[in-house]
Amino acid sequence: MKLDEIDYKLLRVLVQDARKPAQEIAKDTGKHLTTITRRLKTLEQENIIQGYTALLDYEALGLELTVISQLLFSKGRLFEGEKEIAEIPGVCAVYDITGSFDAIVIAKFASKNEVSAFTKKLLSMSFVERTETHIVLNIIKEDFRLPEQIEKLSVTEEMTE
C-alpha cells in the first residue's frame, strides 16, 4: 500500500493519541469525516494499524525488572523456537538478529524469582544452546511510537514522487 500525506497525518495523530475521535481528526486535518474513517479502515485492513492500546508504566504496575536475553539456537530450530518463546508470559519482543547470537528477547517481570524461572525455562528448551541474560538497571527511553520517524517517512515519500 502506498501511503500519502493524509495517511501519514492520521498515523502521527494516532501515535500521539489513539483515543482521538475521528471527528476531531477530520476537523484538525481539514478533511471530511468520511475520508478519515475510510482511510483509518484501510490502514487497519492493511495491518499498518495493528491495534489501539494504552501506554502503561509497567514499573508502577509492579513489573520492575526488564530483561534482555540473547539466545543461540540449535541449527534449523530458530523460527520454531522464537514462536514458542514469544508465547511465554512477560515476553514483550522477540527479534532475529545478526552477530554471535540468533535472537534477542525482551521481557518484563515483577521479581527476581520470575526472572530466574524465565531464564531457566529458556535454558531447558531443547532448541536453545546458550543464553546471555542482562537485567536493565535504568530505562532511559522506551517508546515504540516514533512520531518523528513517521514525519521523516512522509517527507521521504514526498521527495521520491
Do 50 and 69 have their domain in common?
Answer: no
Strand order in the sheet with 91-96: 91-96, 103-109, 65-73, 128-135
pLDDT at residue number 156 = 59
Residue 105 maps to which CATH number? 3.30.70.920
Question: Which CATH number does the domain housing residue 9 bear?
Answer: 1.10.10.10
3-state helix, strand, coil in the chain (%, to 5): 45, 20, 40
What's the rounded mean pLDDT across residues 107-132?
A: 97
Count CB atoms within 10 A of the CB of residue 36: 23
44-70 residue pLDDT tens = 999 999 999 888 999 999 999 999 999
In a domain, 154, yes or no: no
Long-range pairs for 110-113: beta carbons < 8 A, 24 or more residues apart: 110/62, 110/63, 110/64, 110/65, 111/65, 112/65
Give the mean pLDDT of 119-128. 96
Ordered alpha helix ranges (H), 46-106:
78-86
Q: Give the pLDDT mean for 13-36.
A: 93
31: cell is 478533511
CB–CB of 133/69 below 8 Å?
yes
pLDDT over 80 at 154, yes or no: no
Mark whether 49 and 70 lie in a shared domain. no
Q: Is the pLDDT of residue 153 over 60?
A: yes
Tell whether 49 and 71 lie within a shared domain.
no
What sections of 30-93 are H helices per DSSP? Answer: 33-45, 78-86
Q: Check residue 158 and give its pLDDT.
A: 56
On whether residue 146 sits in a domain, the answer given is: no
pLDDT at 99 over 70: yes
- Residue 151, pLDDT > 90, answer no
Confidence of residue 94 (pLDDT cuts 50, 70, 90): very high
77 and 32 together in one domain: no
Q: Does a structural domain hold residue 157? A: no
Tell me: do 127 and 77 sit in the same domain.
yes
Q: What is the average per-residue pLDDT within 86-106?
A: 97
What distances in angstroms separate CA 61 from CA 40, 71, 94, 134, 136, one per listed residue? 32, 28, 22, 21, 17
- Asked, for residue 13, whether it belongs to a domain, the answer is yes
The reply to whether 30 and 74 lie within a common domain is: no
Report pLDDT for 144: 86
* Same domain? 126 vs 69: yes
Task: Look up residue 12 and give its amino acid.
Answer: R
Q: How many domains does the chain have?
A: 2
Query: What is the model's pLDDT at position 157?
Result: 56
Q: Is 106 helix (H, G, I), strand (E, B) or coil?
A: strand
Domain that holds residue 101: 65-135
- 46 and 69 share a domain? no
- Burial of 26 from C-beta contacts in 10 A (0-12 / 13-18 / 19+): middle
